[in-house]
Structure 1
């Protein structure tokens, strides 16, 4: 277990070691499509699950700026596991986003001391879970078509609407209970090990005292509460970036070790790594990737500052400007990553398309998750800000 005294650079070294281990058999595990118990155990044993947790309970006490880079590094080795870790960080921070000070302390002590992994059943495109009040408890019922983390999670974040009101209530509950049934129906072409299938919630009871942010059954909103969406959108951008980095690194290793030079071009070379069009392509893709990384890092530094600042200080203007920057970073990473995922085959050759090489998984992973919400709307947000000075209004996706 890594100690809490480690700094950001040392945590990134830990993440790199984890990524290198994941990369060894990533293609085989992708094809097997089995529940990633061993992979989650690796994250826990490395101390990465409690990276943001309080040091007094054994956590790393690190910033979001570091957490984003850790997500990216892990995704370089395996995009699915990078997503699981990124979603965990967001849901572990959910208490800070909306809960009371006492609730925050209790949740952070619990997950940090127990080394618990979070999942979440909060897909906004489905109908909200229904909540009814029963004395000192509230009871959740319903179904969600996506629940990333499912069987590998220890805790699940629920969200629903209280019957007869428009009040949304978040709560954190144990994942292993009779009232939560994960349906094991995630069978998409990419991000196959994220345990993102559907879930049924039946009669899950939560004390009113654990309703996040509620005091005497009333919620007092802050602009800070709305940071959940920009924060997770940048989680997306970082594991997309890690996937793209993994694709380029894997392709380069294949080109160096296996790709044969083309003997019919009139400017024949001894190796593919000497061919001008191969060097041109890698130079173009690397430059684009570095540019995307710089924008993602800029966004990470900006949101990290406000995530760790007093909650009452965040203004709608500052929140909106950060959301626009993250929208720009996300669209740039998607475009660059998909281009890399396609063009790497041009510089590795026909034999690189073999299933055993697994080079296709990078494009499949990025293509699958980047459909989470239409990137065209991210471009529109940036355009409206640039042309009209408009800030995106907080919604479930902005």
Structure 2
């Protein structure tokens, strides 16, 4: 099944790439492409075997993300949170919840993210509240921004603070995930994402007005981090794979445009690809991009190894390996998206070619979880063995 998944992802990548530039330029939302993803079976890769899935390893899923992002980073970003929240369901869902949601996913249901809020509070505070009612259910109210993929979703997964509304939530306030149908009463999704990159992720605003949520659709979030887990490492691994996909896509685009570029007259060659200075640039970039690919694969193997033998030591090692891959992926995506213009020369700056989409996508996506903090955690682990923080961001 793993080989089949990669073959399916490679085929879809080729299909998605055909019109990716047009979708970006005109901001055409990828409804047909999301439909193809749902029908492909790829969204069900993490489903455990006992529930009819294949429990694909992180090494396979990471490569699926890279293949899709190579063609269209917006599409890869749309289902990043789908895989992350399926992991939350695996770790904290009850048997009854798993028996209900996994068949939906096997049939192609897409989960979308509704977790990020705007300030002034920090990202680890959720002002959105999930208030328990006497009937055993909950009422959900709040507003979420950058809700990637919400317009395409069958289910929204909302991270919220548990409480009664009497006190302002703090970082210590327990949190839960509310799984709510996209068409639930009180849910409004607004397509107001105006990012310069990843323009077709539909990362709009979700407003929740007294949404009734049965207890059977609420999964604890805070307990995920009460012991060793690869939850955060997995979430960051998928982000890293998207950045590596941007890098490999930009390198391929740079090679393609270099073949059409005029050589510099001082090179005294008939083709730009024979210019020794351009050859050197291509060689340097290939090392950077392939290095990021290798570190991504290494990090995925570390996550799989940690999952096979969970301990504070194995999960810390996996988190650090993913952090290393994330730093390399960010650097590679930005470098490749920039250097492709050197490979292509003036022709590559044509608006009709829309090659700026690689840089815009890279610069936008790499703002997730700043690598300057990854370097802090990597450095402390290297020098003193200090494990990274135990939360969902590493």
TM-score computed with the length of structure 1 as normaliser: 0.90
2:292 equivalent to 1:292: yes
**Pair 291,219 (structure 1): closer, same or farther in 2 beyond 3 Å:** closer
What stretches of structure 1 of length at least 5 have no aligned partner? Answer: 1-6
Distance 1:60 1:33, change over 3 A: farther
1:28-67 mapped onto 2 (5 Å cutoff): 28-54=22-48, 59-67=53-61
1:146-204 Cα shifts (integer Å, max 9, x gaps): 21111101111112122159321112111122321112110101111111122111122
Partner of 1:262: 264
- The Cα of 1:340 is off from its aligned counterpart by 1.1
Deviation at 1:244, TM superposition (A): 0.6
Task: Give the whole-Å Cα distance in 2 for the aligned partners of 1:377 and 1:221.
Answer: 19
1:105 to partner: Cα distance: 2.9
Q: When the two structures are aligned, how many residues end up with a matched partner?
A: 380
Q: Which residue of 2 aligns with 1:201?
A: 208
Unpaired segments ≥5 residues, structure 2: 118-122
Pairing partner for 2:255 from 248, 252, 264: 252
Which of 79, 88, 96 is the matching residue for 2:82?
A: 88
Contact 1:87 1:235 in 2 (8 A): no
What do the CA deviations read for 1:252-296 (whole angstroms, capped 9, x no partner)?
11212x111122x0x411111111111111111111111111111
Residue pair 2:114, 2:206 contacting (<8 A) in 1 also: yes
Matched residue of 1:371: which SS? coil
Task: Kindly indicate whether residue 115 of structure 2 is the aligned counterpart of residue 122 of structure 1.
Answer: yes
Match of 1:240 in 2: 243
Q: Is the 8 A contact 2:198 2:365 kept in 1?
A: yes
Q: Distance in 2 between matches of 1:80 and 1:278?
A: 30
- Per the alignment, in what secondary structure is the counterpart of residue 379 of structure 1? helix
How far apart, in 1, do the equivalents of 2:275 and 2:36 lie? Answer: 40
Tell me if structure 1 keeps the 8 A contact 2:244–2:293: yes
Distance 1:78 1:212, change over 3 A: same
Report the alpha carbon displacement of residue 221 of structure 1 after superposing the two structures with TM.
Answer: 6.5
Contact 2:58 2:234 in 1 (8 A): no
Q: Which residue of 2 aligns with 1:327?
A: 323
Q: Secondary structure at the match of 1:189?
A: coil
Inter-partner Cα distance in structure 1 for 2:236 and 2:223:
25
1:138 is matched with which residue? 138
| SS of residue paired to 2:160 | strand
Change (3 A) 1:59 1:396: closer
Is the CA contact (8 Å cut-off) linking 2:78 and 2:201 kept in structure 1? yes
Cα 1:221/1:393, change in 2 over 3 Å? closer
Deviation at 1:393, TM superposition (A): 1.6
Q: How far apart are residue 32 of structure 1 and its match?
A: 1.4
- Post-superposition offset of 1:120: 1.2
Equivalent residue of 1:294, what SS?
helix
CA distance in 1, matches of 2:51, 2:126: 37
CA contact (8 A) 1:128 1:159 kept: no
Q: Distance in 2 between matches of 1:175 and 1:227?
A: 28
Query: 2: CA distance between counterparts of 1:317 and 1:56?
Result: 28
* Mapped partners of 2:204, 2:234: distance in 1: 22
| Superposition deviation, residue 238 in structure 1 | 0.1
State the distance in 1 between where 2:339 and 2:29 align.
31
| Contact 1:76/1:244, CA 8 A, preserved across alignment | yes
Greater shift in the superposed pair: 328-337 or 48-57: 48-57
TM-score normalised by structure 2 residue count: 0.90
Q: Which piece of structure 1 moves more, 387-396 or 321-330?
A: 387-396
Distance 1:90 1:219 in 2: 15
Tell me by how many angstroms 1:104 deviates: 2.3
Hey, what's the Cα distance between the residues in 2 that align with 1:370 and 1:196?
Answer: 15
Structure-1 separation of matches of 2:276 and 2:236? 38
* Kept after mapping to 1: 8 A contact 2:237/2:326: yes
Aligned-residue offset at 1:396: 4.0
The aligned residue for residue 3 of structure 1 is none
| Partners of 1:94 and 1:228 within 8 A in 2 | yes
- Counterpart in 1 of 2:180? 173
- 2:120 counterpart residue number: none
Deviation at 1:60, TM superposition (A): 4.9
